[in-house]
Amino acid sequence: MAYKYAEDKELLLNRLKRVEGQVRGIARMVEEDTYCVDVLTQISAAISALEKAGLVLLADHIRGCVTDAVSTGDGEHSVNELVGVVERFLKA
């Protein structure tokens, strides 16, 4: 089955690929003893990028899975799950 995020699949894959590169770059910076503040700035940027990818996915999830579940009268589980996901995301 395809989820709603299928539409944003390319976008998500590109972003995740970029984050992977960022994290690899951060490791290289550490290996080369780059100044801590510059490393920290890159870590903040990678976290922001992951959060943005997460928000795209979350929006698709609400628009797709949650909406479907609620529409077919089966929203209870889906909504509880969503609340848990948002909570985890906010506390990450």
Buried b (16+ CB within 10 A) or exposed e, 30-53: eeeeeeeeebeebeeebeebbeeb
Q: Which of residues 55-84 bind its own copies (CB under 8 A)?
A: 55, 57-67, 70-71, 73, 75, 79, 81-83
Using rule CB under 8 A, residue 88 touches its own copies = yes
Using rule CB under 8 A, residue 37 touches its own copies = yes
Using rule CB under 8 A, residue 3 touches its own copies = yes
What is the smallest separation between the CB atom of 15 and its own copies, expressed in angstroms?
A: 9
Q: What gap in Å lies between CA 84 and CA 87, rounded to an integer? A: 5
Q: What gap in Å lies between CA 54 and CA 65, rounded to an integer? A: 15
Using rule CB under 8 A, residue 87 touches its own copies = yes
